[in-house]
């Protein structure tokens, strides 16, 4: 299990790094070629947009075909997307590349998460496996942009896109020898169930609500902190350092999670994360220096970085095994839809109640919503 998990994490890192590298390089090239900020915003949104619409079909495909076939198609799609940008680095092609690499990464993540959840032998192993798997995106968020940035500075954009196109091929080298798990046949009479039927289960609805609350915390930090830093008169490097500290903290807590989860229940981690996040979101607008904002950012990163493995572990326990792919797809669809919509909501709300008001509103929402995370305990106990 450990060796296979390491290979899957390496494959996830390579595929995700292709997308994150493209997500850094393509907007930068668009700005340097004279595109407007609005056009660049659309380009960035396209990386998430495909995942909103493909998440459920990708989940069903993974339920039917397992791990390797979905990952193979994702590898080919990412390779084509990044390769097109390397051959024809113009804005319309960059938009197509964003759609292809974003959608392929989302589809591969669903197949990988489904496989890892099914391969776990017990609850402790389930939580530990998802904790290790969650480290992958943190690593790729560094590798992709860093590699692309170096190549842009020393060789040019087309070489950077070419390197990103090679990463999915490396991912396939890691994943292709993974042993497929036996397929799970849906019970008779359930072959044509809609994924939306999952929302009829109170536990699943509660988990999706908790997932959305925590996703909103992540979004408000990513979107509003640069605006707040600008209002405070901080430099671009200081604002970047604050956001970087958040990412590092989120990665560090995920490294420590596999050793902690054996002693903690999922509902305990989720409830604690929501309460802690509520406190630090409320304190954020009161911070006036880069150092104090950085401290808040680190503590918030520790809190929010711990939740994804717990959400995934709970999801695999409360949904039928034959529909794990659909459930993961529905979760991913909600996260990406939130990432598209919430910045618009935050921007409009900030114009009316101010940036501090946005933080305090989300803080109150998440604090009150922590009851949903606590009730996951009651549901699992009764179930």
Cα 155 to Cα 177: distance, rounded to the nearest angstrom: 34
172 with 220, same domain: the answer is no
Within a domain: 193 = no
Q: What is the pLDDT of residue 382?
A: 45
Element (H, E) at 1: none
Each residue's pLDDT expressed in tens, for the chain with a length of 383 residues: 577 788 888 888 899 889 888 887 888 888 788 877 667 777 877 887 887 788 788 888 888 888 888 899 999 999 999 999 999 988 899 999 999 998 898 888 888 888 887 777 777 777 777 778 878 887 887 788 888 888 888 888 889 899 999 999 998 888 887 777 766 655 555 555 666 677 778 888 888 889 888 888 887 887 777 778 877 887 766 776 787 788 788 888 877 777 776 677 888 889 999 999 999 999 988 888 888 888 998 999 899 888 888 888 888 788 887 777 788 888 878 877 777 777 667 777 777 888 788 889 889 999 998 888 888 875 554 44
DSSP state of 88: -
Entry pTM: 0.75
Residue 264 token pair: 């903690």
98 with 163, same domain: the answer is yes
Q: What is the pLDDT of residue 381?
A: 46
- DSSP letters, 301-338, are HHHHHTHHHHHHHHHHHHS-GGGHHHHHHHHHHHHHHH
With CA atoms as reference, report the closest residue to 294 among 234, 243, 251. Answer: 243
Within a domain: 297 = yes
In CATH, what number is assigned to the domain containing residue 304? 1.20.1250.20
Domain span at residue 280?
199-383
* 1-25 pLDDT per residue, tens: 577 788 888 888 899 889 888 887 8
251 phi, psi to nearest 5 deg: -70, -40
207 with 346, same domain: the answer is yes
Those residues whose C-beta lies under 8 Å from the C-beta of residue 164, and which sit 6 or more positions away, are: 17, 18, 21, 22, 25, 82, 85, 101, 144, 147, 148
Cα 16 to Cα 25: distance, rounded to the nearest angstrom: 14
Crossing angle between the packed helical segments 202-231 and 324-382, to the nearest 10 degrees: 110
Query: Residue 55 burial by CB count (10 A; 0-12/13-18/19+): exposed, middle or buried?
Result: buried
203 with 173, same domain: the answer is no
Q: How many alpha carbons fall within 13 Å on the CB side of residue 52? A: 13
Those residues whose C-beta lies under 8 Å from the C-beta of residue 58, and which sit 6 or more positions away, are: 70, 106, 107, 110, 111, 325, 329
DSSP state of 341: H
First and final CA of the chain: distance in angstroms? Answer: 28
What are the percentages of helix, strand and coil residues in the chain, rounded to 5?
A: 85, 0, 15
Within a domain: 246 = yes
Angle at 308 between CA 363 and CA 132, to 5 degrees: 145
133 with 238, same domain: the answer is no
Boundary residue ending a domain (178, 207, 228):
178
Please check whether residue 171 is in contact with residue 136, taking contact to mean a CB–CB distance below 8 angstroms: no
Angle at 59 between CA 58 and CA 65, to 5 degrees: 85
Can you tell me whether residue 91 is helix, strand or coil? Answer: helix
Within a domain: 187 = no
Please check whether residue 145 is in contact with residue 27, taking contact to mean a CB–CB distance below 8 angstroms: no
243 with 374, same domain: the answer is yes
269 with 317, same domain: the answer is yes
CA 48, chain centre distance (Å)? 10
Can you tell me whether residue 34 is helix, strand or coil? Answer: coil
Each residue of 213-226: b (16+ CB within 10 Å) or e?
bbbbbbbbbbbbbb
Q: How many alpha carbons fall within 13 Å on the CB side of residue 44? A: 16
Residue 21 burial (CB count, 10 A): 29
163 with 209, same domain: the answer is no
Within a domain: 126 = yes
273 with 125, same domain: the answer is no
41 with 168, same domain: the answer is yes
Residue showing tokens 């290979």: 7
Q: How many domains does the chain have?
A: 2
166 with 223, same domain: the answer is no
DSSP state of 122: S
Q: What is the pLDDT of residue 276?
A: 93
Residues in the chain: 383
326 with 284, same domain: the answer is yes
With CA atoms as reference, report the closest residue to 44 among 54, 34, 36, 53. Answer: 36
Cα 28 to Cα 41: distance, rounded to the nearest angstrom: 11
């Amino acid at each position: 299990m450990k060796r296979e998990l390491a290979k899957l994490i390496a494959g996830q890192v390579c595929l995700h790094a292709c997308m994150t590298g493209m997500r850094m390089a393509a907007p930068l090239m668009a700005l340097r070629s004279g595109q407007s900020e609005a056009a660049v915003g659309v380009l960035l949104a396209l990386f998430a947009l495909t995942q909103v619409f493909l998440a459920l079909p990708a989940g069903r495909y993974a339920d039917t075909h397992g791990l390797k076939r979905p990952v193979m198609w994702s590898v080919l799609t990412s390779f084509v997307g990044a390769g097109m940008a390397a051959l024809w680095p113009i804005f319309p092609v960059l938009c197509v590349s964003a759609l292809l690499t974003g959608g392929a990464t989302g589809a591969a993540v669903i197949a990988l998460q489904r496989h890892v959840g099914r391969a776990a032998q017990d609850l402790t192993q389930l939580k530990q496996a998802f904790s290790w798997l969650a480290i992958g995106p943190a690593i790729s968020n560094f590798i992709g942009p860093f590699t692309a940035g170096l190549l842009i500075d020393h060789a040019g954009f087309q070489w950077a896109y070419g390197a990103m196109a090679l990463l999915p091929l490396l991912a396939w080298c890691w994943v292709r020898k993974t042993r497929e798990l036996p397929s799970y046949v849906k019970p008779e009479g359930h072959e044509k169930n809609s994924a939306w039927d999952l929302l009829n289960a109170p536990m699943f609805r509660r988990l999706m609500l908790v997932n959305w609350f925590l996703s909103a915390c992540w979004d408000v930090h990513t979107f509003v902190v640069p605006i707040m830093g600008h209002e405070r008169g901080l430099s671009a490097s200081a604002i970047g350092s604050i956001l970087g500290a958040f990412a590092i903290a989120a990665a560090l807590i995920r490294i420590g999670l596999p050793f902690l989860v054996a002693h903690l229940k999922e509902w305990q981690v989720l409830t604690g994360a929501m309460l802690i996040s509520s406190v630090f979101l409320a304190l954020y607008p009161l911070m006036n220096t880069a150092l104090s904002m950085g401290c808040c950012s680190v503590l918030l990163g520790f809190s929010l970085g711990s939740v994804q493995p717990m959400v995934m572990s709970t999801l695999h326990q409360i949904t039928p095994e034959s529909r794990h792919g659909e459930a993961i797809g529905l979760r991913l669809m909600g996260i990406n839809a939130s990432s598209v919509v919430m910045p618009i909501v935050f921007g409009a709300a900030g114009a009316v109640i101010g940036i501090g008001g946005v933080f305090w509103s989300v803080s109150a929402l998440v604090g009150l919503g922590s009851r949903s995370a606590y009730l996951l305990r009651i549901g699992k106990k009764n179930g």
